Amino acid sequence: MPHLRTLSGGESHGKAIIGIVDGLPSNLPIEAEDINVDLKRRQMGYGRGGRMKIESDRVEFLSGVRWGKTLGSPITLKIDNRDWKNWESGMSDDAAKSGSIAAVTKPRPGHADLPGVIKYGFKDVRNVLERSSARETAGRVAVGALCKKFIGEFGIKIGSYVINIGGVGRRYSGVDTADSAALKLLYESAEKSDVRCPYPEDSKRMVCAIDEAKEQGDTLGGIFEVFALNVPTGLGSHTQWDKRLDGLLAQSLMAIQAVKGVETGLGFDMAVRPGSQVMDEIFYEKGSGFLRKTNNCGGVEGGISNGMPIVIRGAMKPIPTQRKPLRSVDIETKSPVEAAYERSDVCAVPACAVIAEAVTAITIADLMLTKFGGDTMDETISNFNKYMEYISEF
């Protein structure tokens, strides 16, 4: 069982999205604004749909925090859905209000719609799409922001940026990923871009591509990179498949809606180069200890963090909901139809990168607690400092 347990709950047009975190030590300083910053970042990005004009996500602590510090008990986070007022009957838990809106019977290709209704025995696709919606990720971003605050106490910094949208841009970031300063600069530049791309010319071309897709009633996916700096050597393990750091990170990112590919370091490019060009050679300097001058493995070797920046790349497919509907089949009549259209984004890659930051933070926070333990922040920090002394003397 992981040391840190997290859950999210809620439907897209339900009353609220809920996040629960169990396992964080007591006395971690935390304020709602620490979380609201990332909730706002998740809602931004050129190509977002009308829902973002309705919602203005802010978190409310329902448990686990008192006077600005964690209690060590489960933390419950609530994010109200402002659109609930328009769905009180359609999403009510009262059986008397059933049938207040027409059932959705036209599944969208590429979405959870059809496999979901078959799996759970529904005759209304809304029973699936409400929970499979990416609106759910607001809960994960809130939990991730809390985990960012925790790992930030140990100097760990997480960021992201977009490098490709709809084929516009590049395959890799193009910087030396062994250079923490270069990665931070990309992140800072991306925060100034409407598409969260650090390269101004690429950003302009991406905006044009999104405009063109919108005119055609289409959607676009893309590629983003996430990094984690100052992660200590030793998170994860080679001893069991389900303890490997890169495997855990891959699962976290692949579990984000619409993500279809994940790489660490050079990823697939390592498969087409000889070993002499991709392995990160090991050096030793007195006072600094063991080090590497390249980071092709993305900060993970043998399932264990090696002290270099962790670099992960994710590929997001285009959003399945199309303004110009694709062909489908009505689940009731079995006749050919055009897929249902739900209000949606043209492109959500910038938001997906923010979500990827959150799930990366959750994974690293769990492994930090697994390794260093502690019921209080003082205890966890003390354990961490002793380990870092051990590393410096190894």
- Classify residue 306 by its DSSP letter: -
Q: What is the mean pLDDT of residues 340-353?
A: 88
Pick from 8-12, 82-86, 363-367, 385-389: least confident: 82-86
What would the pLDDT profile of 70-123 be if each residue is shown by its tens digit?
A: 999 999 999 999 989 999 999 999 898 888 889 999 999 999 999 999 999 999
Angle CA 11–16–116, to nearest 5: 5
Percent of the chain at pLDDT exceeding 70: 97
CB of 250 closer than 8 Å to CB of 264: yes
Taking the C-alpha atoms of residue 111 and residue 217, their distance in angstroms, rounded to an integer, is 17
Helix axes 349-372, 245-254, angle to 10 degrees: 140
**303 or 174, greater pLDDT:** 303
pLDDT of residue 55: 61
Please check the confidence at residue 28 and state whether its pLDDT lies above 70.
yes
pLDDT score at 52: 53
Predicted confidence (pLDDT) at residue 382 exceeds the cutoff of 90: yes
Per-residue pLDDT, 168:
97
pLDDT (tens digit per residue) in 182-232 = 999 999 999 999 999 999 999 999 999 999 999 999 999 999 999 999 999
Residue 342 has pLDDT above 80, yes or no: no
Angle at 141 (CA atoms; ends 83, 65), nearest 5 degrees: 95
Distance between first and last Cα of the chain: 30
**Which amino acid, 75?**
I
- Does residue 139 register a pLDDT over 80? yes
**pLDDT at residue 340 is higher than 90:** no
Strand pairing class (327-329; 310-316): unpaired
Q: Please write down the long-range contacts of 327-334, taking CB distance under 8 Å and 24 or more positions apart.
A: 327/109, 328/106, 328/107, 328/108, 328/109, 329/107, 330/105, 330/106, 331/105, 331/106, 331/107, 331/114, 331/117, 331/123, 331/125, 332/103, 332/105, 332/123, 333/105
In the chain, % of residues over pLDDT 90? 86
- What per-residue confidence (pLDDT) applies to 177? 95
Q: Is the pLDDT of residue 280 over 70?
A: yes
**What angle in degrees, to the nearest 10, is found between the helix axes of 349-372 and 32-43?**
140
DSSP H helices in the chain: 32-43, 51-54, 113-120, 126-132, 137-152, 180-190, 200-215, 245-254, 275-278, 349-372, 377-393
pLDDT band for position 289 (cuts 50, 70, 90): confident
Q: Which domains does the chain have, with CATH numbers?
A: 5-393 (3.60.150.10)
pLDDT of residue 344: 76
Least confident of 132-136, 149-153, 380-384: 132-136
Q: How many CB atoms lie within 10 A of CB 329?
A: 15
Is pLDDT at 53 greater than 60 in this prediction? no
Instruction: Report the alpha-carbon distance of residue 350 to residue 210 in Å, rounded.
Output: 12
